[in-house]
Amino acid sequence: MEDDHLDPTPQWIEVSALAAPALLGTAAGLLLGDLMHRNARRGVGIGLGALGFLAILPFVVDGVAALVTGPRSRYGVRRKIQHIRDGGDGLPDHDEVAEQLREQGLI
């Protein structure tokens, strides 16, 4: 049976999560290794480290956004309560239903 549950995480986020440790490990290896000239090693290491940091950045931003606007945060609870108070439950108003029933001659 096929699983109907779809993962809402975009594919590029998963790919960046898999690439980040490899990039950071490579950067550390180049910075600590003695195989390259010092200036070349430093430049390549810093570049790969920055690329690794950028690969992790979507997770950090997503995590902070979930903490700030998530359903368990203070802002998320306020937004949900306000949505309920504004009648944002997606159901039609009782007046609209009564009007439709009158148009159909049912009441």
Please give the model's pTM, rounded to 2 decimal places: 0.45
pLDDT one-digit tens code per residue, 40-64: 878 888 888 898 889 888 888 888 8
1 assigned to some structural domain: no
Structural domain range at position 18:
10-62
Q: Is the domain of 43 the same as that of 78?
A: no
Average pLDDT, the chain: 77
Q: What are φ and ψ of residue 10, in 5° steps?
A: -60, 150
Q: What is the pLDDT, as a whole number, of residue 90?
A: 56
5 assigned to some structural domain: no
CA neighbor of 40 nearest in space, from 107, 48, 98, 103: 48
